[in-house]
Structure 1
Amino acid sequence: MTILIVTDAWRPQTNGVVTTLEQVVAGVRERGTDVEVLEPGRFTTLGLPGYREIRVAINPFSVGRRIRALEPSAVHIATEGPLGLAARRYLARHDLPFTTSLHTKFPEYMRARVGLPLRWGYAFLRWFHQPAYSTLVTTERQREELAAWRLEHLRVWGRGVDTEAFFPRARVEGYDGPLLLYVGRVAVEKNLEAFLELDCAGRKVVVGDGPLRRSLERRYPDTEFVGYSYGEALADWYARADVFVFPSRTDTFGLVMLEAMACGTPVAAFPVTGPLGLVTEGLTGALDDDLAAAIERALECDRSACRSFAESQNWDAVVDRFLEDLETIVWPRADLPPLMATGSQR
């Protein structure tokens, strides 16, 4: 049995979508099931304008042929980009079953970048995900928000963190006052300026890169921009920080918050979708429309409580829910020929 995942987000991109899919693929394979990933690296790609590190397929015309050749037992479409669109078109046209997942607030991203009205973005999401047997979402709150925009067949998936890679380390002093850390893309949708413009005690450090980095470095010379970090170097930054600051208002989850907590670092954020599903006020961080106030309260949190919460969020449960979703919807048809040889009975 082979599961096919179609995604426009894959290595070498650095983001929560890629991390989630990598963990799911590894977990499914550990359970003895084959997984194939149809991703941009198998196609001719072009970097997005202003965001060259994100490369998208510009010749997705062979997606249907590739699906036919693989004869998967189940298909999951993870993104709404060119590959996801091509796979959706092929599977829907041939009445073949598939599931999808929704990882980002795409309409909010498009409004921030190009001014696209929200209702247009959500109309697109409704159209894209409507033929799917189910759509996996990150949290119950995201499910409620999407349902309010009339998306259907939504199932809560969740997220996890690798607590063996991210764990508390010896604190390294070297800054006057608290170290306030941000990790992620340096891009407009991350609302990073809401953090950088704060007049609060401590040293601000930004780990990550993106199209706004150069302009923000010029405008905020007192902030330390260190570029991307990975592995132990990234975990060291999390562990050194006194507070992890998450200024985004458009993320559906925010894996970086879990990674910070796994290293014992509390989170300060706005009370919006992603943080509301993760941060417990006074325990693992603080939420406030006044981000500086959230930082002050987060500084008082017990770091061991952050670690304890992170230990309860594991990838095994996420992989299990992914497989359960496919089992419920597709796998009971195991007595039928391979997926490509039959049509949907929906």
Structure 2
Amino acid sequence: MDSIDLDVLKTAVHWHQSGHKVLIGTVVRTWGSAPRPVGAMMAIRGDGHIKGSVSGGCIEDDLIDQMRKGELDYRTPDLVTYGVGGDQAHKFGLPCGGTLQVLLEPVRDESCLPELVATLERRELVTRSVDIATGHATLTPSHSGTGVVFDGTHLITQHGPRYRLVIIGAAQVSRYLADMATALDYQVIVCDPREEYLDTWDVSGVETSREMPDDLILRLEPDSCTAIVTLTHDPKLDDMALLEALKSPAFYVGAIGSRLNNQKRRERLALFDLTPDEIARLHGPVGLHLGARTPPEIAVSIIAEMTALRNGVTVTQKKDEDVLEGDACPILTRPPRILSRAD
């Protein structure tokens, strides 16, 4: 789940608990080109205040107008359709012919939104089912990712925790990767026990850790919404993280280095309690082969591969050079220091 969707739910809960009338709007169907995907959410308060978005803005303006005029129903969920014709599609900022349906759901105690927010903050997957006739909602544990099913009688939404990225190493590539991941709404955690690296870290909005990499991975308990990338060029630090990351459900595990270095890394990992299937999950060389040489180019290649996998796109591009992303001279300004726990 993106942080903006979680903010919508939190805001709706806060407004409701403060005594306001509140509706949650969820895009449940689209036809043609729609400005927001199925599952997009917004909260709208009785006085017209909103949080989130279901369109480019015009639909929100119409709902605000109806809300202020008292034309929206607070008793049971209501389905509204926008863009059924070319004129209306143009009026509401939709591409000509595009249509979307929004379910407007009154927020009540029976909506179970506080329980939903609490579950998501524990990083648990959950399915929420809303009976359209009554507005009553139920929550059940889920084992799959996000998704929306609307059959006319029930709205079933699967919610997962916010995506997060764990970066091992606080060097140049890490800075660009952290910035890009933050822009894509990842929660970013950078781990580096080497004080000369982390002491100069200055990327805002990013958590930092001086723990040993394996200790951090074990503490975080990576889930299917977690990506882990090792960027230190120090086999000891990188391998420590990978030994735990590859055994986890993390959707992406990558390690910087050439094909030769990654082959040696796989041979080292095979000496430990990893299965061949677990080792095969490693993306190394990390990232798509873009001919990347500079730190920002390498970061682009990594975030592109992560995005493809996150969106269910099969990555088939081969990295067929001996020296690939992560091995160009600008990345290393000095040899990696081998660090022991005694340090």
Query: Same fold per TM (> 0.5)?
Result: no
Higher Rg of the two aligned structures: 2
Instruction: Choose between structure 1 and 2 for higher RCO, CA contacts under 8 A separated by at least 6 residues.
Output: 1
TM-score between the two structures when normalised by the length of structure 1:
0.29
**How high is the TM-score relative to the length of structure 2?**
0.29
Instruction: Give the number of the structure whose residues are more often strand, by fraction.
Output: 2
